[in-house]
């Protein structure tokens, strides 16, 4: 599956799973129709991430779900992941592309038009844009107040590669992110912390498909 077909994207974080394993959360998300999973787990050592990655690779391959690894190109290669996702302080996109080759998926976190254009020029296949809304996740803590769907729209207008919104996204506020031009949304706690991760994934997908009504086009309605 190509990033252009992603709608729901799970970023793993065991500390938010209410005692459940990351593999269990991933399995439930897959059952709910998730399109991509990013192995993050930065609080664990490389060996633990590798072993978890092998387990996730097996289940995602069977389900036709893309698996990318946050930052660690070596783990991505070792588990035969579909690619990697890098941030502004990680290895450059161009380096990841050179090391992984033309067929790997390489994603990059951006929050400005300039970063987005540079990532595209360097060979990124998609962008993770955010934090869209306020968030307490360490992954996007540099934008706790959120850049808003308006910035997402600016970035989608500036690049030709797919944009995935991330940061504080729920089934209640995902619609405006899709309306801004994002092909999908990436979430951590919305699925990981949910009582029913499968149902949460399905609700998120449904929210992305539902049209968002602005005040202007609801005037005159009962």
Q: Enumerate residues 6+ apart whose C-beta is below 8 A from 14.
A: 21, 22, 41, 43, 44
Catalytic residue among 27, 40, 57, 139: 40
- pLDDT tens, position by position, 44-82: 999 999 999 999 999 999 999 999 999 999 999 999 999
40 is catalytic: yes
Overall average pLDDT of the 106-120 stretch: 98
Instruction: Check the annotation: does 161 bind a ligand.
Output: no
109 is catalytic: yes
Tell me the percentage of the chain whose pLDDT exceeds 70. 90
- pLDDT tens, position by position, 2-48: 999 999 999 999 999 999 999 999 999 999 999 999 999 988 999 99
- What is the rounded distance in angstroms from the CA atom of residue 96 to the CA atom of residue 169? 28
pLDDT of 1 reads 85
pLDDT of 139 reads 45
Tell me the percentage of the chain whose pLDDT exceeds 90. 87
pLDDT of 136 reads 57
Instruction: Check the annotation: does 99 bind a ligand.
Output: no
- What is the rounded distance in angstroms from the CA atom of residue 67 to the CA atom of residue 29? 13
pLDDT of 211 reads 60
- What is the rounded distance in angstroms from the CA atom of residue 9 to the CA atom of residue 7? 7
Overall average pLDDT of the 158-187 stretch: 97
- pLDDT tens, position by position, 119-147: 999 999 999 999 999 765 544 444 467 99
- What is the rounded distance in angstroms from the CA atom of residue 5 to the CA atom of residue 195? 27
Instruction: Check the annotation: does 214 bind a ligand.
Output: no
Residue 218 has pLDDT above 90, yes or no: no
The string of DSSP letters for 124-145 reads -SEEEEE--S----GGGGGGTT
pLDDT of 145 reads 77
pLDDT of 216 reads 38
- pLDDT tens, position by position, 142-171: 446 799 999 999 999 999 999 999 999 999
Instruction: Check the annotation: does 71 bind a ligand.
Output: yes
- What is the rounded distance in angstroms from the CA atom of residue 46 to the CA atom of residue 72? 9
- What is the rounded distance in angstroms from the CA atom of residue 96 to the CA atom of residue 50? 18
Beta bridge partners of 9: 36, 186
Mean pLDDT of the chain: 92
54 is catalytic: no
- Ranking 90-104, 106-120, 141-155 by mean pLDDT, the lowest is 141-155
> Taking CA 71 as the corner, what is the angle to CA 69 and CA 72, rounded to the nearest 5 degrees?
75
Q: Where are the beta strands (DSSP E) in 54-120?
A: 66-70, 83-86, 105-110
Catalytic residue among 7, 72, 109, 131: 109
Q: In this structure, which topology does domain 3-210 adopt according to CATH?
A: TIM Barrel (3.20.20)
């Amino acid at each position: 599956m190509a990033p252009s077909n992603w709608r729901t994207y799970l970023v793993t974080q065991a500390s938010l799973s209410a005692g459940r394993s990351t593999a269990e959360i991933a399995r439930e998300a897959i059952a709910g129709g998730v399109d991509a999973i990013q192995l993050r787990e930065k609080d664990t050592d490389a060996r633990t991430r590798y072993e978890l990655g092998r387990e996730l690779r097996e289940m995602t391959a069977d389900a036709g779900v893309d698996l990318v690894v946050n930052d660690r190109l070596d783990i991505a290669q070792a588990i035969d992941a579909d690619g990697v996702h890098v941030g502004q302080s990680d290895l450059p996109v161009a380096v990841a592309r050179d090391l992984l080759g033309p067929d790997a998926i390489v994603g990059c976190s951006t929050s400005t038009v300039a970063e987005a254009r540079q990532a595209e020029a360097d060979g990124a296949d998609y962008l993770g844009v955010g934090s869209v809304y306020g968030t307490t996740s360490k992954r996007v803590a540099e934008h706790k107040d959120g850049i808003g769907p308006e910035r997402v729209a600016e970035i989608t207008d500036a690049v030709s590669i797919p944009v995935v919104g991330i940061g504080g996204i729920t089934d209640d506020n995902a619609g405006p992110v899709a309306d801004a031009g994002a092909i999908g949304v990436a979430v951590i706690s919305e699925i990981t912390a949910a009582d029913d991760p499968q149902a949460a994934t399905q609700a998120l997908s449904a929210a992305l498909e539902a049209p968002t009504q602005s005040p202007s086009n609801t005037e005159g309605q009962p």
